[in-house]
Structure 1
Amino acid sequence: MIAILLLPMSSSGQAPSYVSTRDAHPEFAFDFWLGVWDVNLRVFQDDGSWADEKSAVAKIYPILEGRAVLELWDESMSGVDAIRGFSIRYFDNDADEWVLFLNWPGRNRSGIGSLAGKFRHGRGEFFSERAIDDTTTLISRYTFSDITKNSLRWDDAFSRDGGKTWSNNWIMEFTRSGSTAEWPGPGENAHTYYDGARCDREEFGVVHDLAGEWKGSVTVGDHTETGPFRTYAILDGCATLTFLRGSTGKEPFEEFGFLSYNTYANMYEYATLSTEPGSRFESRYGSAGEDGTIVFESKASSRTKRRYTLKPAGDRLSIVREDGTSAGPDAGIEWIERYRGRFSR
C-alpha cells in the first residue's frame, strides 16, 4: 500500500513542529510517544518462551496542530517480507476515548483496522472485536505500559472467550533515539518506503503515481490560497498520506488523508481527518473511471456524508471535497462543495 502525505510546510520546507503543553488533558496522553524510537520486537514461541526476533525504527509525528499522532514503524531491513506499519490516533471528545486506526500491510494486501480505549494510571489499553464465526468473537487488546521519558512497552493480547483468558503474540520494547521525527526533504524517501515492491499490483500504482511535489491552490468559497501540496509514498508502495491546507479567509483548516487500495473491499480507500470541529477519521471508497478519476463516497451507514473527487491528469491534479446534507431519511442528499484544490508538478 502506498501512502502519500500532503503536508503543510514551513518556509524552510520542513513540516511544522508541534510543542506539547504536557498538561493533564486526555487529548495529550500520547505525547510521550512523539519522537524516534529503536524497537526490539519479542515474539512468542511454540514452546512458550519469548525470543528477540526483530529490530525496527518507529517514527512518531504530531499532525494537525497536535490533534493527532501518526506512527510509521519500519523493520530495519529492506525486502517485501519486512514488517512495516502505519497508525494514526486521536482523542474523540464525544466518545471520551482514544481511537486508533492502523494498517500493517502484507504482500499486495492492505486494509485499515481500528481500536479504541483509554489511559488509566499511566497505562493505556485499547480494544477491538471481530466475529470469527456465528459463536466466537475475537477480542484484541493493545497495551502501552512501563512508560518513561525514554522507554516504554507495548504488547498485544487476544481472547476468544469474552476476555476470560488471553494469549499474546508480540511484545515491543521501545528505547528513545531522538526527540523529534523529521519529515524527509525533497527527493528523499519517507520512513517505511524503499522501492515500492511490497504492493506492486496495478491498483497500487495509481496511488503511488501521486507521490511527489505539487504546487497550486485551494479554493474555499470565494477565498483562494496558494502553496505547496506535498505527497509522500509510504509502506513501500502500499499507501499514500495526504495533508491539505485551506481557509475561508477567516477560518484556516488542515486535512490529513490516507490513500490506498483496500484489497478486502477491492476498492480504493481514502480516509481523512481534519482540524475542523467534530471531524472524525473515516474511510470513503471508490473505483477508478476510464480517465483515472476516482470518486470516494461515504458508506450508507456513515454519520457524515462526504465525497471526494480525485482527478489526476499527467502533471496536473484536482481534488474536490463535497459535504452532504439531507432534509430527512426519505430525502435525497444535497452536495455542497467544501473546497477545490488544483495542483501541478
Structure 2
Amino acid sequence: MPLPPDANAPSDFDFIIGDWLVKHKRLNARLAGCTEWTEFEGRTSTMKILGGFGNLEDNLLHFPEGAFRAAAMRSYCPTSGTWSIWWLDGRNPTALDTPVVGRFADHVGLFFADDFLDGQPIKVRFIWTARPGAHPRWEQAFSSDQGQTWETNWEMEFIPVGGGEG
C-alpha cells in the first residue's frame, strides 16, 4: 500500500511516474570522435518515494550484448530547490554514480555533475524534456573542456505502456 504524498511535494517529475517502453539511442564510444550509434529498447517503471520528494525508477535495458538492470533515484531538496539524480548499474551493484544536480524551468530540467571518464575529469549534463502532449525525453552529454562544448552520448524517448501520450 503506497504511503500518502506530502501536500508540499514538488511535481517536477510527476510526468515520469508509471510504466514506460523506452527507445534508447547510445553513442558507441564517448569523447572519442565517434559518430556511430546503437539503438535498443528497454522498460522502466517509476514510483514516488519520500512522500513525493523523491522517486525511484526501475530499469530493464536490452543492450545488443544482453539485458541488464539499473535504477535511478531522485530526491528534491526544498532548501536549494534542486533535484539530485543517482544511477545504480546492476552490473556494478556496489557503487552509485556521482549525482547530477539541477532543476526544471518551462518543462525542461537541466542537471550537471563533475565526474571522471577513463580517469579524466569531465562534466556531465542531463536534459529532461517534459512538454505537455509529447513523450518525455532524456539525454546525457559529456564535456572534456569544462562545459565549453558538449557531446551527446545517450538519448531516450519514453512511451507510456498502452501507447498514450505522456
Return the letter of the residue paired with 1:29.
D
- The corresponding residue for 2:26 is 43
What is the rounded CA distance, in whole Å, between the counterparts of 1:35 and 1:123 in structure 2? 19
**79, 85, 92: which one aligns with 2:77:** 92
**10, 14, 17: which one aligns with 1:27:** 10
Change (3 A) 1:120 1:62: same
What is the rounded CA distance, in whole Å, between the counterparts of 1:69 and 1:76 in structure 2? 23
- The corresponding residue for 1:104 is 89
**Percent identical:** 26
What is the rounded CA distance, in whole Å, between the counterparts of 2:126 and 2:41 in structure 1? 19
Across the two proteins, how many residue pairs are aligned to each other? Answer: 156
Per residue, is there more strand in 1 or in 2?
Answer: 2
What is the rounded CA distance, in whole Å, between the counterparts of 1:99 and 1:35 in structure 2? 20
**136, 146, 149: which one aligns with 1:165:** 149
Tell me, what secondary structure is at the counterpart of 1:42?
Answer: strand
CA contact (8 A) 2:109 2:129 kept: yes
Q: Are 1:73 and 2:59 matched, yes or no?
A: yes
CA contact (8 A) 1:70 1:86 kept: yes
What is the rounded CA distance, in whole Å, between the counterparts of 2:20 and 2:110 in structure 1? 20
**C-alpha deviation, 1:172, in angstroms:** 0.5
The higher radius of gyration belongs to 1
1:188-337 equivalences in 2 (<5 Å): none
What is the rounded CA distance, in whole Å, between the counterparts of 1:150 and 1:28 in structure 2? 17
CA contact (8 A) 1:27 1:90 kept: no
**C-alpha deviation, 1:45, in angstroms:** 4.8
What is the rounded CA distance, in whole Å, between the counterparts of 1:146 and 1:157 in structure 2? 18
Change (3 A) 1:63 1:26: closer
Change (3 A) 1:160 1:168: same
Change (3 A) 1:36 1:93: same
Change (3 A) 1:124 1:57: same
Task: Name structure 1 gaps, 5 residues minimum.
Answer: 1-14, 179-345
Change (3 A) 1:94 1:146: closer
**C-alpha deviation, 1:152, in angstroms:** 1.1
- The corresponding residue for 1:82 is 67
What is the rounded CA distance, in whole Å, between the counterparts of 1:81 and 1:129 in structure 2? 29
Deviations 1:283-314 (A, max 9, x none): xxxxxxxxxxxxxxxxxxxxxxxxxxxxxxxx
**C-alpha deviation, 1:147, in angstroms:** 3.0
- The corresponding residue for 1:63 is 49
**C-alpha deviation, 1:66, in angstroms:** 2.0
What is the rounded CA distance, in whole Å, between the counterparts of 2:118 and 2:41 in structure 1? 35
**132, 139, 143: which one aligns with 1:155:** 139
Deviations 1:98-148 (A, max 9, x none): 111221132x553112110011121001111025699x6310011111533
- The corresponding residue for 1:338 is none
**C-alpha deviation, 1:18, in angstroms:** 5.7
TM-score w.r.t. the length of structure 2 is 0.79
**93, 109, 127: which one aligns with 2:112:** 127
**C-alpha deviation, 1:35, in angstroms:** 0.6
CA contact (8 A) 1:20 1:31 kept: no
Task: Name structure 2 gaps, 5 residues minimum.
Answer: none
Return the letter of the residue paired with 1:173.
E
Change (3 A) 1:59 1:17: farther
